[in-house]
Structure 1
Amino acid sequence: MHVLLCEDDDLIASGIVAGLNAQGLNVDRVATASAAQAMLRAASFDVMVLDLGLPDEDGIKLLDRLRQRGEALPVLVLTARDSVSDRVAGLQAGADDYLLKPFDLRELCARLHTLQRRVAGRTLNMIEHGPLQHDPSTRQTWLAGQAVDLSRREQALLYALLQNRGRVLSGEQLKDSVYGFSDEVESNALNVHIHHLRRKLGNGIVETVRGLGYRLGPAQAAPQEAP
């Protein structure tokens, strides 16, 4: 899961980034509303964590503007404003969830997974695709009942494909899901991760759509060994 964190407090932001990274989430952090808008134009994200007390603009105004222009990205508001009117204003502006400071990182992570589950129309964390099972909250994967060890990048790649089954994702979209905006990425890195995923989960797990990108392959009854 690729998370955009908009939080101006460096101490809080560093704790969130470290905590979510430890849970296998990929986080890019910005400190202002203007930087958040620039980041949303530059990369693809699965969810946004938004503080309301930003130095250049109130987070509610940013959220309202994003919704007005049709931005459907799930947004979790993270703030110390605890009045009912503040919570109502946030939800009316288009927030999908609201978490008060101080908070537990485990709860934040669980809420982000819940938002993604809602977006995908799932009622459970477990994602099934034929004999493949993947639980993004525990970062565990099974193929035909056998546990499969995937690296953090491979998990992110698999999750992006499972979340977008039936859709063709460009190489850039997949890179956004697997890497942070500031990460240095070698030109063949994505191909390496795709190769490893095919080797571990079967050749058909990732389909190459020539000239367009990649998509999740059809569910198969048994794993296939890559050559």
Structure 2
Amino acid sequence: MPLTDVVAQTGPLDIIVVEDHDLVRLELVDFLSRPGVQVRGADDGEVLESLLRQRHADILVMDLNLPGEDGLSLCRRMRHAFPEIGLIMLTARVMPSDKTAGYQSGADVYLTKPPNVGELEAVIANLARRIRRRVANGLQLDVPRQQLTLPTGAVTYLTLLESRLLYELALAPERKLSTEVLMLRLDPRQEQPRMRGTLPVTISRLRQKMVTASSELEAIKAVRGIGYQLTVAITVRA
């Protein structure tokens, strides 16, 4: 079934193409864009995270060879943070071991370059039909509702700042961010002195709300000389 017909049945689709080769990325974005399908492009993991903060995505089409954080590591993080998302690896690596590593990192589909555009469209259409939220056994953060669901099923309500802070830590490499980066992302108005005093209080409140969620003494721990690290896994629903 053509992608346009699938979208008509399942609803609008949001895709992000993560590819550092400008021409390839632009061609894929242009090819996949159509009524009901919004496609954005990113050239590395940092840009991808920035786009996800603006709006969630249904499917990621990712290259393996990216500058900075490699595609496998990025795929693992995205799968962990967003279990329901569709992940397509698009790469020039063709060895069976490479494909195995891709699937072990959480990819739904592994396609080699140059892609057959008809096959890519069919893969996306198939993923769009069968994407379902995969329920995690641990903590679940619902960003729009500002709710944190504990493993027991109990729901605790968060402030906007608490929800954003958890989102940033859950998405970060090793679930760890420096104090400066965390303040910058939480404080778009650049009111650094105020945020520097607010941040420890917010983290203390979050620790209390998450105390029954883990055997860890602190769900968010201070890392000397760096910042803060989330010590428990969280599934994000953005």
Scaled by the length of structure 2, the TM-score of the pair is 0.48
TM-score (normalizing by structure 1): 0.50
